[in-house]
A and B are shown apart, each in its own frame.
Chain A
């Protein structure tokens, strides 16, 4: 089955710096790659996702890149702010739309942004 590895497990940056979180997956059939942000005491919240037919996607200060050949994808946060501090999870799935394919999550990255 699918296996998702996520690095680093913890990341500390200064406010204003960029943060990069990387994930690799094992199943070449995976075609959907979401990123979730989990704040303390809350459930994970979808922040951005990318489909396998797209190499990069941006939404304001966050961007995700996908390299299908290498089977890895990354989350980039620019101009980090203290409110970006949270645990970030990547996930992969072989299904999208109406098809079935469970989300397989990475173990998470605890991001701390120091003011």
Chain B
């Protein structure tokens, strides 16, 4: 069982659609990070959220950290084919970092 559960596992949408992916846990984290990984490459950090209830925006991406710091969501507005990739969340606690299994997003032109 993963400490961080990501949903959905797979998501295939058309260009221009909106989407939300989720990262849930029963554990409290001191911070939570979102990464995007493309084939043949390592994950690249998108954002770090630290405060419960925090919302961060990165162009068309909106990240939210749950009030209790147990969960997070990533919302993408008007998805583009360049958004295609594996989206990973990672929670930090006690100098330990755990990753979810990821949501594989495909945006079709």
A and B associate in one complex: no
Interface residues of A (CB under 8 A from B): none
